Structure 1
Amino acid sequence: MDFDRKTMRDITKLTHEAQRLWEEQRDVLNQAKDMALDASRHAGDVARREFLPRARALYKGAIQPNLSRIPWQTIAAAPKRSSNPLVYVLMAVGAIAVAALSYAAWQTLRADDELWVEDEAE
């Protein structure tokens, strides 16, 4: 495209301004990333110094004694059930039924040219 000098000058000026803004945004994002990492480190330190000891003290003082009073019982494993011969018979009948249905579907959907009778032209 052909632009006059004034338009080209404005386009160049806008291009430089956009480039400068892009670099500023990149710098701001880098600073924000550094601040977020620093805040994360400080939050972890505070949690380790303040929260964790309080949570341990609460557990040892209030929760653990109450848990030790509960009579825990182990649950006995359910006895293993033996297989019934009827299960194998039913599996065989099911397999035969699936095979029969598959064969019927194949017979229905196959292309058999001998079954079709052409219309006679009059």
Structure 2
Amino acid sequence: MSLSRKRRKELKRLRSSAEELWGVQQDVLERANDVAQEAKRQLGHLTREEVVPRVRTGYESYVRPGVEQAKGYVRVAGSSAERTLGNALGSVLSIGDIANDARVRRAVERISPRAAAVVKEKKGTGVGTYLAIGAGIIAAAGVAYAVWQTFRADDELWVADDEPTPSTSATTSSSTTPSI
């Protein structure tokens, strides 16, 4: 293919122009890469100096008090459930001890010989067993309720500070002009 001299010159200029553009694009990409690396470094500094302290402060002022309060509620609920369950089981066991006492049996035999025979025959699950199971279920429900109350979303705990709107800040700043 034979090209005229004029066309060859134009193609040569076009090729040199494309090569120059390619070089300029490579320089721009290198500069963009440098800028991106610097932005990444600055973002790391900003995160360490600004974001982390604010998150830590927010945690200390909002989350930690709620967690501490929840721990207190769980401790109180646990000790209350332990006392209640202990009292109930103690009462059930003492009733069982009283029922097994020889003096009580003789008194029951004197009053009603049939009732004493029924008490002697009956071995297995009795009222005391059901009372103990009921007390255990009530204690578990109390602990579950206390835990639920502790960890439920409480809208009143997370009240955001009201920021002044532009209309109220304009009236506030105009009315509070300092006098010299």
Task: Identify whether the pair has TM-score above 0.5, normalized to the shorter chain.
Answer: yes
Matched letter for residue 48 of structure 1? R
Matched letter for residue 48 of structure 2? R
Other-structure match for 1:49: 49
Q: Percent identity?
A: 33
Other-structure match for 1:40: 40
Paired with 2:6 and 2:58, the residues of 1 have a C-alpha distance of 74
Displacement after TM superposition at 1:43 (Å)? 1.1
Greater C-alpha Rg: 2
Displacement after TM superposition at 1:13 (Å)? 0.7
Other-structure match for 2:67: 67
Other-structure match for 1:28: 28
Paired with 1:58 and 1:13, the residues of 2 have a C-alpha distance of 63
Structure 2 residue 31 is matched with structure 1 residue 7: no
**Larger RCO (alpha carbons 8 Å, 6+ apart):** 2
- The answer for unaligned runs of 5 or more in structure 1 is 73-122
Of stretches 32-41 and 60-69 in structure 1, the one that deviates more from structure 2 is: 60-69
What is the TM-score when the length of structure 1 is the normalising length?
0.55
Displacement after TM superposition at 1:64 (Å)? 1.1
Secondary structure at the aligned position of 1:63 is classed as helix
Paired with 2:69 and 2:24, the residues of 1 have a C-alpha distance of 63
Matched letter for residue 36 of structure 1? A
- The answer for unaligned runs of 5 or more in structure 2 is 76-180
Larger helix percent: 2
Secondary structure at the aligned position of 2:48 is classed as helix
What is the TM-score when the length of structure 2 is the normalising length?
0.38
Provide Cα deviations, 1:71-91, integer angstroms capped at 9, x if missing partner.
49xxxxxxxxxxxxxxxxxxx
